[in-house]
Chains A and B, each alone.
Chain A
Amino acid sequence: MSLPKASPPHLRRAFVAVHRLTIVISETERLVADPVPGITAAPHDDNLRYFDVTIQGPDGSPFQQGVFKLELFLPEEYPMAPPKVRFLTKIYHPNIDKLGRICLDILKDKWSPALQIRTVLLSIQALLSAPNPDDPLAPDVAKHYKENEADAHRVSREWTQLYASK
């Protein structure tokens, strides 16, 4: 695919924007063609870089039976820079703060361009199964998890029922 040689700059710029989006689209196609159980991701009609995501709480975790809404945004630099992901549903988890921000290494310094939307969402699902209170983002929740795990699980279950039931 190439543009005619002497095309006006605004057309060229639009072409570049479209070209960059094709990476996003090919990944979206794959997500749709081969979905991950318990995870959905759908791009917005008006902004193909913006995804509505839902993740089911993994079985055996206090988030079981919950369906959590997230938003995912692919910045211009993607895949050289990680996607931006945030929980929209309230969740009681030591690595997720009140604003829904997620403390996960692959979303920060451990990002690799070989990762995809799919693998990122799987990692987030895994984080729900295995909270890590030693690297907290919500200090009070982490403290609760460390001091009385059973009680913290109870609160997590309650929040899941309150905010994340279908």
Chain B
Amino acid sequence: MNSNKLSTLLAQDADPLSALDNALRCQICKDFFDAPVTLACGHCWCSKCIRSFMVAQTGRGQCPTCRRDMTESHLRPSSAIEDAVTAWKRARDCILGLAHGKSQESADGPVKKKRKLSSSPPVSGPSRTPSIESRETPSEPAEMKPDTVVQCPLCSCKMRYKELNAHMDKNCAPPVSTSDKSQKTQWSDIMGSKSKGKAKVDQDPLPKVAYDTLKEKQLRDKLTEHGLSTSGTHAQMVARHQQWTLLWNANLDKSPANRQSTTELRKEMRRWEDEQKNKKKRPEVDSKSHLVTYPLLLFSVYLTILDYAEGPVCSASGSS
């Protein structure tokens, strides 16, 4: 099996490589750093991992490695590590590809893979792939009419195609259609428009909330403010808000290019909700659930192997 080869390769044959591989992994989830943050003591974690540990420790807590006190304000995003992880992931795929004798294949591989990628981007690839592709092929179809409404590729404002060039030349100034610009909008341009304020909000971390002091209604308001469900008990609502804050703030610890969209965060939130439901059901089904999960587990292992098998070729095509 490929994955076995992989672990033996990383464990024995290539010990210095395995040390490098380990150094770029979070000691909590044992996976590669995702949105790495460093604490005041210098230890590094995935933002999501260390934040959920803080939640589990009710806000206070100690560094999992050296037990020095830590708070959320100590967290500093570490973009150098993030870049190192991205680079190593690609290098790793190449090395594994070479080790598995994929080198002959890669000669004719890239062309085939590229076609496959562009024909079916959203099926199973990592979420980043489609966005990269769309960046690489921004060319508008030739038969665009001047009055067609299009989205600006930079600020995703909607406007007529004939205005697009002028708009982009002015560094994405709000579309000026002269006639229908009311006094009100002109004023709001001067005083700082609504849309500007909104864009800024998207960059701001959510503040810590003292849930004990919140009344039920305030808590509900907070949830609806972020478009979250208000069902369940008080404790469930608190947990939901905590989780959303966690996901939101952890996402901001990534470098802007790697950040997830709000839709993706919501999807992750839904997965978390499912997990909570699952947890509640667990005690009664536990003895039988493995009958379902075990085959699925094998399936997931199979998928992972596919990932490994495809990875090197993809990256080779990307770099060449």
Contact = CB atoms under 8 A, between A and B. Distances in A.
B303 interface: yes
B271 A18 contact: no
A112 B7 contact: no
Interface in B262-319: 270-271, 274-275, 277-279, 282, 289-290, 292-294, 296-297, 300-301, 303-304, 307
A110 B61 CA distance: 10
Interface string B58-83: 00001011010000000000000000
Contacts of B157: none
B274 A21 contact: no
A98 B27 CA distance: 34
B29 interface: yes
B11 A15 contact: no
Interface in A88-132: 110, 112-115
A29 B301 CA distance: 13
Nearest to A112: B64
Nearest to B55: A80
A150 interface: no
B7 A33 contact: yes
Main secondary structure of the interface of B (DSSP, over half): helix
Interface string A1-38: 11010000100111111111111011101000110000
A13 B277 contact: yes
Given A13-B277, A18-B293, A18-B296, A80 B53 contact: yes
A22 B289 contact: no
Contact of A23 (B8, B29, B52, B292): B29
A164 B289 CA distance: 35
A29 B7 contact: yes
B28 interface: yes
A79 interface: yes
A22 to B, nearest CB: 7
A147 interface: no
Contacts of B29: 23, 79
B293 A17 contact: yes
A110 to B, nearest CB: 8
Nearest to B275: A16
B53 A113 contact: yes
Contact of A21 (B49, B62, B277, B297): B297
Interface string B9-27: 0010000000000000001
A7 to B, nearest CB: 10
Contact of A18 (B270, B277, B300): B300
B30 interface: yes
Contacts of A52: none
Contact of B52 (A4, A80, A115): A80
Given A17-B293, A18-B296, A2 B277 contact: no
B124 interface: yes
B293 A27 contact: no
A2 B127 contact: yes
Given A2-B124, A17-B278, A113 B296 contact: no
A80 B304 CA distance: 25
Nearest to B307: A1
A148 interface: no
A5 B301 CA distance: 20
Contacts of A33: 7-8, 11
Contacts of B123: 4
B290 A112 contact: no
Interface string B65-109: 101000000000000000000000000000000000000000000
Nearest to B125: A2
B56 interface: yes
Interface of A: 1-2, 4, 9, 12-23, 25-27, 29, 33-34, 46-48, 76-77, 79-81, 110, 112-115
Interface of B: 7-8, 11, 27-30, 49, 52-53, 56, 62, 64-65, 67, 123-124, 126-127, 270-271, 274-275, 277-279, 282, 289-290, 292-294, 296-297, 300-301, 303-304, 307
- The 9 A-B pairs of least Cβ separation, nearest first, read A114-B64, A112-B64, A114-B27, A113-B28, A80-B56, A16-B275, A13-B278, A13-B274, A18-B300
